[in-house]
Structure 1
Amino acid sequence: MNATTTWISRRVSKLLPAALAKDEAAAGAPVKSEAAATPLRGPGSAPAPSPRGKPPQRSTRERLEATLRQGEEALSPRMLRRALDELRGIIDPRVSEVEGGRRAAALAVWYEGATPARRRDLWLLMSEMFVADADKAREAQARFAAAVGTPDEAVAEVHYRRATVSPRRRLLQRFSVYPGGVQFLVDLRAELQPHLKADRRLQALDVEMEYMFSTWFDVGFLDLRRISWDSPASLIEKLIQYEAVHDIKSWSDVKNRLDSDRRCYGFFHPRLPEVPLIFIEVALLDDMASDIVPLLDESAAAADLQKATTAIFYSISNTQVGLRGVSFGDSLIKRVVDTLKEEFPKLKTFATLSPIPGLRPWLQRHLAAQLERLDERALRELGRAVSFEPPSTEHVLGALDKPLALDAKSPLRQFLLRCAAQYLGAEWQDGKPLDPVARFHLGNGARVERLNWAGDPSPKGLKQSYGLMVNYLYDLKRLDKHRAQLAQGRIPMAAEIEGLLKP
């Protein structure tokens, strides 16, 4: 056993459950096993709230300076200080990158066996105790401000940038050194996400990780690979696991999605070669699809590729929650379009068949306002359709509960289509389209093309959007125009959608 291995074994063993119990017993705290210290709630679960009457929560710095553990704190002060020493040892300037990576790998082993509450203590240490030196940052900023416009400006800017880089960034970089370290960090951030709103102290760590991931996972470092039925079974299993739009129910289901008239592509990172970061499923057809059922029909014959003129993107799934905020969907669609055009020169139309996940809850909250937009005639027709005049929100919602039974001329059906057009074409939040799927595709330069009644009659489709689906059209010659239009506060849409918005 060499010196490095001995150091790792000795140091990390002090953080293992037996050592924790020994320290807690020495401090007079009740001894608990690792499993009993915190109830098992799974990754990302919030720790149980403190009962009434408990002392107020201490800050991380107060805990580091204390002697005894208090209340619901997971790690005793002594163990918290020891964990901080382990983290600092990873970025010790006297050790090499490789040695720092080994130390990070050892700490990751401890982390994998730790309870959620003890993991959270480690997050707090990483977030709060590895900040840039405030005095040095202020001094460098003052020097930079004084040097603006002088020959020393560039040098002063370099010093300022270096002064504001936190040791936390170097710490995260050391975790990326060892095999599996990148996946470890991505999983850590995924587990961190549910805690951010409740504990703002963790936001510095989250933002630092998002910044680093945006660099590490830049599209220039990603490989576009086709996933087919001939791909390794382990990779196909990833599709089943991560499919987020239309659940894959069986192997025959996934085989249908990888048939000869289909294509599936994913972005892969060299450090995560077996996991697609995002994947897209495509159907090659002779017309724009309006119904998801035929696309998912396992018994349907494959389409004739010689007649294919349209590529329908019917499912796009991100696989890594820890990469939230890192955008590569835009580049994926562009790369897929270029790849498809090269393989199938006859393709002219590129569009989606997309869900409208927020429509039903939005309408339930804003139905009264939508009824007020109707003129007297439309209001009377709607009232007769629901057998209550003037129609109340309660009666309209009740009548909409079975949308598939409405015929094409039903005033209730026309009303729902108008509401969907309003939701997709005129509703905003923080300067962006309200619907998350619309936000994605419109941000990539697409336009709202067509609403499809009963496009998804599944229970999930009815729950999300009364069964409605929408086509977003990627007009390759107008993508930049549509983006500019969106930036000006106008959602690009086809004339059919605009017509539904008119009073």
Structure 2
Amino acid sequence: MARTSFLGDLLTNLYGRGRWSSGGDRRSMEALCTALLSTAGEVAGLRLASAIFDKYRAMSPEEKLGFFTFLNERLDVDSSEVAKLAQAYSEERSPGNFAALVQSAEPRRQELFRRLHQAPGATTELVAARVDLLGMLKDHPELKRTDMDFVHLLRSWFNRGFLRIEQIDWNTSATLLEKIVAYEAVHEIHDWDDLRRRLHPADRRCFAFFHPTMPSEPLIFVEVALTKGVPGSIQALLEEDRDIMRPEAANTAVFYSISNCQKGLKGVSFGNFLIKQVVSQLSQEFPKLDTFVTLSPMPGLKRWLETLDGDAKAANLLAGTATETEAEALAARYLLDAKRSDGFPQDPVARFHLGNGAMVHDVHAGADTSPNGMAQSCGLMVNYLYDRSQTEKRHETFTGEKTIAASRTVRSKARSEKGAGQDKGAPKGKAAKAETAPTATE
């Protein structure tokens, strides 16, 4: 046992702390990458990977663009070779021909990323490098090919099986709490007192996913309120002088903020897994919980309203003079009828929750009167309901048939706007499916 412990400590010292010294390697980035791809030795590979990361961090934005251009062009697939090997495989489907085709069809930059990933701290370095790459795509869309390789590998490295869930509370380290404040993307945390109100009371929870190679960096976190009944206002949910309830008396868990923390992991989905895990844990801890809903923003609502030329109710809502009934009817119409060219909802939050198998449960006027809430959705918010017995079915009908599951309440609110929306050329798509949602006990 002592020998095993000694070996573990030695490996930790060698591989887990700091990074290998690059020894001031003065070779060009292209030469270092070529050397890393050709080396067979593990130790040499670690040193080369560290040298590449050292050089990359010292690069100017223009030099980083040159590096990604090198990856994109020089380490791309040889399309003529792929075509030749594909023809050979079509003529003789042998294991050898298959292996040759698969190898040639993978860009060499993928293997470079894999070899870089062996170095200490490489995951953090690569995620940070992708942030740089994402910033280049608008002006250099051809680099999307390299980004696709990034996403392919990141999805493998950040597979759900590697993630661990942790509860964040008021006793969590100050360093991590500061990151929660910085990463909060839905409802700004104004100060430590505001953070304490979200973490410390017995009827509040916060959970985050972590990856073993980035143990101090949350990937995504969700804030949860335990309540009686489904709330219709974020102000009421977060008010300073609210009455704190015993969590055992709650019948509803409200997911009111979900924040992705790492820009470099854009396109790698964690939210679905996190929500399912939290629902499972809360159900075990509090068996009386029978309703799981969100209180979510509608970030595309205001932009959609601005496209409804000649719609008096939309003009009133934008001007702040619409009645509550008018506002909620427009919001319901937006969620059920406003579609992208592919037939899925315009609203990104709606696509996320409906894609996870949730149902549009209700909409609320005056639910978020913060500057951000007014700017995004004129103060309106929406509840998405997660019914564990229906999530798989709803996921399949949404992703396969583009059918939106919605409660009778939402369908009723949208009905008064339905005809007007169609007359004005509202996008056509699958009708929302009306369902009866569970009624929470007040």
1:230 aligns with 2:162: no
Could you tell me which residue of structure 2 aligns to residue 48 of structure 1? none
CA distance in 2, matches of 1:500, 1:106: 61
1:347 aligns with 2:292: no
- State the shift of 1:174 in Å: 2.0
CA deviation vs aligned residue, 1:289-331 (integer Å, no higher than 9, x gap): 1110122223333222121110000000001111111112111
- Which of residues 15, 25, 44 is equivalent to 1:11? 25
Could you tell me which residue of structure 2 aligns to residue 334 of structure 1? 276
CA distance in 2, matches of 1:99, 1:252: 50
* 8 Å CA contact 1:282, 1:312 repeated in 2: yes
Could you tell me which residue of structure 2 aligns to residue 270 of structure 1? 212
Could you tell me which residue of structure 1 aligns to residue 439 of structure 2? none
CA deviation vs aligned residue, 1:474-497 (integer Å, no higher than 9, x gap): 011111221233221321100111
Unaligned runs of 5+ in 1: 15-81, 372-390
Could you tell me which residue of structure 2 aligns to residue 375 of structure 1? none
1:137 aligns with 2:82: yes
CA distance in 2, matches of 1:357, 1:468: 10
1:85 aligns with 2:54: no
- Which of residues 139, 162, 179 is equivalent to 1:198? 139
1:185 aligns with 2:126: yes
* 8 Å CA contact 1:252, 1:298 repeated in 2: no
1:397 aligns with 2:337: no
- Matching residue's letter, 1:84: E
CA deviation vs aligned residue, 1:254-294 (integer Å, no higher than 9, x gap): 11111221111111111011111111111011111111012
- Matching residue's letter, 1:448: V
CA deviation vs aligned residue, 1:8-28 (integer Å, no higher than 9, x gap): 43533x6xxxxxxxxxxxxxx
CA distance in 1, matches of 2:68, 2:218: 27
- After superposition, the Cα gap between the structure-2 partners of 1:230 and 1:198, relative to the gap in structure 1 and judged at 3 Å, is same
- After superposition, the Cα gap between the structure-2 partners of 1:305 and 1:196, relative to the gap in structure 1 and judged at 3 Å, is same
- Which of residues 334, 337, 345 is equivalent to 1:426? 337
* 8 Å CA contact 2:21, 2:47 repeated in 1: no
* 8 Å CA contact 1:441, 1:472 repeated in 2: yes
- Matching residue's letter, 1:437: V
Could you tell me which residue of structure 1 aligns to residue 254 of structure 2? 312
Could you tell me which residue of structure 1 aligns to residue 303 of structure 2? 361
* 8 Å CA contact 1:98, 1:177 repeated in 2: no
Q: Which has the larger radius of gyration?
A: 1
Could you tell me which residue of structure 2 aligns to residue 170 of structure 1? 111
CA distance in 2, matches of 1:431, 1:194: 28
**What's the secondary structure of 1:87's corresponding residue?**
helix
TM-score (normalizing by structure 2): 0.85
Relative to structure 2, which stretch is displaced further, 172-181 or 262-271?
Answer: 172-181
CA distance in 2, matches of 1:99, 1:139: 34
- Matching residue's letter, 2:378: Y
Relative to structure 2, which stretch is displaced further, 486-495 or 197-206?
Answer: 197-206
* 8 Å CA contact 2:20, 2:120 repeated in 1: no
Unaligned runs of 5+ in 2: 1-18, 420-442
TM-score (normalizing by structure 1): 0.75
Could you tell me which residue of structure 1 aligns to residue 72 of structure 2? 127
**What's the secondary structure of 1:471's corresponding residue?**
strand
Could you tell me which residue of structure 1 aligns to residue 328 of structure 2? 417
Could you tell me which residue of structure 2 aligns to residue 457 of structure 1? 369
- State the shift of 1:7 in Å: 9.9
* 8 Å CA contact 1:426, 1:491 repeated in 2: no
- Which of residues 185, 206, 221 is equivalent to 1:244? 185
Could you tell me which residue of structure 2 aligns to residue 17 of structure 1? none
Q: Which runs of 4+ in 1 moved over 4 A?
A: none
1:114 aligns with 2:59: yes
- Matching residue's letter, 1:459: P
CA distance in 2, matches of 1:331, 1:272: 18
Could you tell me which residue of structure 1 aligns to residue 9 of structure 2? none
- State the shift of 1:200 in Å: 2.7
Could you tell me which residue of structure 2 aligns to residue 71 of structure 1? none
- After superposition, the Cα gap between the structure-2 partners of 1:399 and 1:225, relative to the gap in structure 1 and judged at 3 Å, is closer
CA deviation vs aligned residue, 1:144-195 (integer Å, no higher than 9, x gap): 21234xxx3x443233212212221111112211222111111111121132
Could you tell me which residue of structure 1 aligns to residue 98 of structure 2? 157
**What's the secondary structure of 1:267's corresponding residue?**
strand
1:443 aligns with 2:345: no
CA distance in 2, matches of 1:223, 1:10: 37
* 8 Å CA contact 2:397, 2:403 repeated in 1: yes
- Matching residue's letter, 1:273: P
- State the shift of 1:399 in Å: 6.4
**What's the secondary structure of 2:23's corresponding residue?**
helix
- Matching residue's letter, 1:90: L
**What's the secondary structure of 1:366's corresponding residue?**
coil
- Matching residue's letter, 1:490: T
- Matching residue's letter, 1:346: K
* 8 Å CA contact 2:364, 2:382 repeated in 1: yes
CA distance in 2, matches of 1:359, 1:134: 44
- After superposition, the Cα gap between the structure-2 partners of 1:467 and 1:91, relative to the gap in structure 1 and judged at 3 Å, is same
Could you tell me which residue of structure 2 aligns to residue 387 of structure 1? none
- Matching residue's letter, 1:457: T
- After superposition, the Cα gap between the structure-2 partners of 1:207 and 1:287, relative to the gap in structure 1 and judged at 3 Å, is same
* 8 Å CA contact 1:97, 1:174 repeated in 2: no
CA deviation vs aligned residue, 1:181-239 (integer Å, no higher than 9, x gap): 11111111112113213213312211110000010001111111111111111111110
CA deviation vs aligned residue, 1:378-418 (integer Å, no higher than 9, x gap): xxxxxxxxxxxxx5x8xx63664235xx6xxx4xx433322
- After superposition, the Cα gap between the structure-2 partners of 1:399 and 1:465, relative to the gap in structure 1 and judged at 3 Å, is closer
Could you tell me which residue of structure 2 aligns to residue 254 of structure 1? 195
- Matching residue's letter, 1:463: A
- Which of residues 231, 236, 240 is equivalent to 1:289? 231
Could you tell me which residue of structure 1 aligns to residue 402 of structure 2? 489
**What's the secondary structure of 2:209's corresponding residue?**
strand
CA distance in 2, matches of 1:323, 1:6: 25
Sequence identity, in percent?
36
- After superposition, the Cα gap between the structure-2 partners of 1:6 and 1:471, relative to the gap in structure 1 and judged at 3 Å, is closer
RMSD: 2.1
